[in-house]
Amino acid sequence: MNDTADPRIIVALDFDDRETAEALVARLGGACGFYKVGLELLTAAGPDLVRGLVGQGHEVFLDLKLFEIPNSVAGAVRAAGALGASAVTVHSMGGTGIMAAAVDAAREFPGLRVLALTVVTSMTGSDLADIGIGASTDEQVLRLARLAAEAGCDGVVGSPREAGPLRKLLGPDRLIVTPGVTLPGRETGPERGSERGSEAGGHARSDTPWAALAAGASHVVVGRSVTRAADPVAALRRIAVGR
């Protein structure tokens, strides 16, 4: 981890090619020490990108949202641990079996934390109703977080709006990682766009990083607010200093 980086801030490398991702990492330098790699970049760039980030001293949040039979989930978690990832996500809607399998597999890697995704930040109550779930998003998030804690997960992923209730439910020690954070009045580079809807990036339940941290989030995952900013380092520092 870089000494000058705020360990609570994870920058999402939501790109479709390795060169663009590595260029941003180089530009941020010591200002960031924790990166999220999701399915798009992992598929495009392969596991060597993760190895490279770890080799440079960065932490990697491998956001795989694993939702498979327990044996397959366990195998993927062990692969994430072998790459040196610091965190990996498993989908809590898969139930206690896959979460427990992930936790058990992660024991081989002391530095690997298993995070249970609750309700994807793009989903609303109507989306849950479409798949036969009558609970509100708030209710479903807390129900799944409770299951994750019982399965032994190190923490959960939820939107900034649920950070407070999640902290109250889970206590002081578990991780609460919040994607969907946005910066008001973001500056953007040429042809990047500056409208508020674009900044939300498809997240239906968003808020500022400062609100999420104040409510009890242990980490915030920031994407376009930094990666598409005219000055990514300045945008990242703005989050770190809290204004």
As annotated, the active-site residues are 65
**Distance (Å, whole) CA 234 – CA 169:** 35
* Residue positions counted in the chain: 243
Q: Which residue(s) pair with 12 in the sheet?
A: 36
CA dist 51 and 21 (Å) reads 14
Q: Burial level of 71, CB count in 10 A (0-12/13-18/19+)?
A: exposed
Structure tokens at 20: 């663009």
Q: Are 200 and 182 contacting, i.e. CB atoms less than 8 angstroms apart?
A: yes
